[in-house]
Amino acid sequence: MIDRIALALSGGVGGAKLALGLSRVLDPQELVIVANTGDDFEHFGLHISPDVDTLLYTLAGINNPETGWGRAEETWSCMTVLKRLRDETWFRLGDKDIAMHLYRTARLKNGASLSEVIDGLRILLEIGPEVLPMSDQPVRTTLETNEGLMPFQQYFVRASCKPVVKALRFAGVSDAQMTPRFSHLLRSNDLRAIIICPSNPYLSIDPILAIPGVREGIARSPAPTIAVSPIVGGNAIKGPTAKLMSELGVPVSATAIVEHYKDSLDGFVLDEVDAGLAGSIEASGIACAVTNTVMKTLEDRTRLARVVLEFARTLSPTVQ
Amino acid sequence: MIDRIALALSGGVGGAKLALGLSRVLDPQELVIVANTGDDFEHFGLHISPDVDTLLYTLAGINNPETGWGRAEETWSCMTVLKRLRDETWFRLGDKDIAMHLYRTARLKNGASLSEVIDGLRILLEIGPEVLPMSDQPVRTTLETNEGLMPFQQYFVRASCKPVVKALRFAGVSDAQMTPRFSHLLRSNDLRAIIICPSNPYLSIDPILAIPGVREGIARSPAPTIAVSPIVGGNAIKGPTAKLMSELGVPVSATAIVEHYKDSLDGFVLDEVDAGLAGSIEASGIACAVTNTVMKTLEDRTRLARVVLEFARTLSPTVQ
């Protein structure tokens, strides 16, 4: 018997929380997570994949829950010396984190694909579910801002998301292909759900959707596609989502998220505080599930994962 | 008044000891150290310059005196994770050491020359005397061994110098140029001495001498050239010098070192235990100074530095 697979699309912190919840309620072979790599960049000659690493650390239980990025029990000897060298320390690299970047950089240099490298890391970190990069080719999120064109990390980390964003570009995306496994899953009949995690739609999910064939693949898949709202009560749980929506002239509401994803969506998971929006969303033809979407504890994560999976079951054309 | 400059050619550990001694008895502007970069290599995408860093750490007083390489008070978080990732851990990278490699790699990538990068590190580490790489172009020491052709670090670290060496190559050397400052000093009248430190002649000094124009520049310089013997009583103080000499069919003796350098040499500093060889060396036209060359303490280093400088003074054509 083939286990039916839930395919989750995720960025970093917020998405990783739901991915962790899904990993606790599904068997390892029932979950595949596709990670945004639009945030990847080269720094000091190292290939850094922030969203992938946040997912790997979270799934392995070695993430730093206080910062939301990086590893728990990290040390900072290298950074201390870099500071003395007055070098670029705006992107903080923990000593243990650097090991991931060294491993990835070396394997890529030796000809491995990003998929192969991430799968190697996943196995070595004893993570059950598959984690795939969206593409093995470089896609680089770049922001048009009031301070000029900015690569993602310059905007996100160095400038602390302060510049006003006018538009986003995903450099290289038209030449990028979905990773083979991602493409295969979108074409298969084994998917029980496509889950858009509550990550930033513009910065974390759109790079994935922008890869040629992804939107079409999602639309054609018999599996229901469900997004979990990253907006709760007119605000983002974390990060610059609300600020970015304002700057792009989009109302900061869960309804705007539905509008943003509408070509791909079958169902939408709305927070309890936004229950009043369910009627108008359902009127637009998108099913709604209302629940507490704020994930503070591991129990919150697993409970939300169960709600999403049950919601998907009800939306499935082959519901048993 | 121009301070007259001592120019020291050095590899790693043994050479760095004498360089430190020289730095303690000369004013900063009176000493320039040219470092072997034939050991440089790329590892995990990082540009690593082992001999340069050993010199910098030694001159800054932050070297690890127990290992002979790396930094004191080093931490190993990164290496611990790399071991878990079962990655190439044969070249040990301390967390603080990695900061040097990240700094160098980033600056080289941004277009700085190796000379500029090393000068930046020197200033930031508050080291007085200039430290120059022998060349800004890559020269890579490669060994022909009974196990095939080996890049230097594969031979030296990974294979612990165990393979039998048949010959040495300095890949890229015919296209390399001396760094501008090195070249300028060899042509200047400001040199009071050219000092070949007691480093491995084959692995550490020959790459420097192999750069086009270096041997000729040394021969033409009015300053006396003095080598300090790395062989004491038929053995090397440290490292594979003696083993290498045997494999290359050279008798393991201070006399063989004189023979090796003879086209460049005006004077030779011989250890007391080899005093008996002084007569035959002087008979071949090379002046000898006999002293204790074994540098265990800082006092040993400064004393030997003084002996070398005084010896140079006696050999100078313009002796006052």
Under 8 Å between Cβ of A278 and A288:
yes
Global pTM reads 0.90
Shortest distance between the Cα of B102 and any Cα of chain A, in A, equals 5
- Give first-to-last CA distance, chain A, whole Å: 16
Which residues of B fall within a CB distance of 8 Å from A81?
96, 99-100
Q: How many residues does chain B have?
A: 320
Which residues of A fall within a CB distance of 8 Å from B121?
85
Q: Which of A307, A298, A308 is nearest to A24 (CA)?
A: A298
Number of CB pairs < 8 Å for A and B? Answer: 105
Strand A46-48 with A41-43, pairing: antiparallel
Shortest distance between the Cα of A98 and any Cα of chain B, in A, equals 6
Alpha helices, H only, chain A? 13-25, 50-60, 77-84, 95-109, 114-124, 152-153, 180-187, 206-209, 214-220, 241-247, 254-261, 278-283, 298-315
pLDDT, tens digit only, all 320 positions of chain B: 456 999 999 998 899 999 999 999 999 999 999 999 999 999 999 999 999 999 999 999 999 988 888 999 999 999 999 998 877 788 899 999 999 999 999 999 999 999 999 999 999 999 999 999 999 999 999 999 999 999 999 999 899 999 999 999 999 999 999 999 999 999 999 899 999 999 999 999 999 999 999 999 999 999 999 999 999 998 877 778 899 999 999 999 999 999 999 988 999 999 999 999 999 999 999 999 999 999 999 999 999 999 999 999 999 876 44
Using CB atoms, pick whichever of B77, B103, B124 lies closest to residue A95.
Answer: B77
R_g (Cα) of chain A, nearest Å:
19
The structure tokens listed for A122 are: 């996943």
Backbone phi, psi, residue A185, to 5°: -65, -40
Which residues of B fall within a CB distance of 8 Å from A46?
44-46, 102
Which residues of A fall within a CB distance of 8 Å from B95?
75, 77-78, 95, 98
R_g (Cα) of chain B, nearest Å:
19
* Residues B229-247: tens digit of each pLDDT: 999 998 877 778 899 999 9
Among chain A residues, the shortest Cα distance to B107 is held by A44
Taking an 8 Å cut-off on Cβ atoms, the answer to whether B82 and A95 are in contact is no
The pLDDT, as a whole number, for residue A318 is 62
d(CA A237, CA A231): 7
Mutate which of B53, B75, B95, B104 to disrupt the A interface (most A C-beta within 10 Å)? Answer: B95
> Counting Cβ atoms within 10 Å, is residue B62 exposed (0-12), middle (13-18) or buried (19+)?
middle
d(CA B132, CA B112): 14
> What one-letter code names the amino acid at A35?
A
Average pLDDT for runs of 10 along chain A of length 320: 83 94 97 98 94 97 88 95 84 95 94 97 96 98 96 91 96 97 94 96 97 97 96 83 93 94 94 96 96 95 98 79
d(CA B309, CA A226): 79
ipTM above 0.90, yes or no: no
d(CA B78, CA A76): 10
The structure tokens listed for B144 are: 């022909």
Among chain A residues, the shortest Cα distance to B47 is held by A45
Strand A191-196 with A5-10, pairing: parallel
The helix-helix angle for B50-60 and B114-124 (nearest 10°) equals 20
Among chain A residues, the shortest Cα distance to B99 is held by A78
Taking an 8 Å cut-off on Cβ atoms, the answer to whether A44 and B105 are in contact is yes
Taking an 8 Å cut-off on Cβ atoms, the answer to whether A102 and B80 are in contact is no
The structure tokens listed for A106 are: 């070396």
Where do we find the tokens 């720094």? A43
Strand B225-228 with B267-271, pairing: parallel
DSSP states of B143-185: EEETTEEEEHHIIIIITTT-SPEEEEEEETGGG--B-HHHHHH
Among chain B residues, the shortest Cα distance to A85 is held by B124
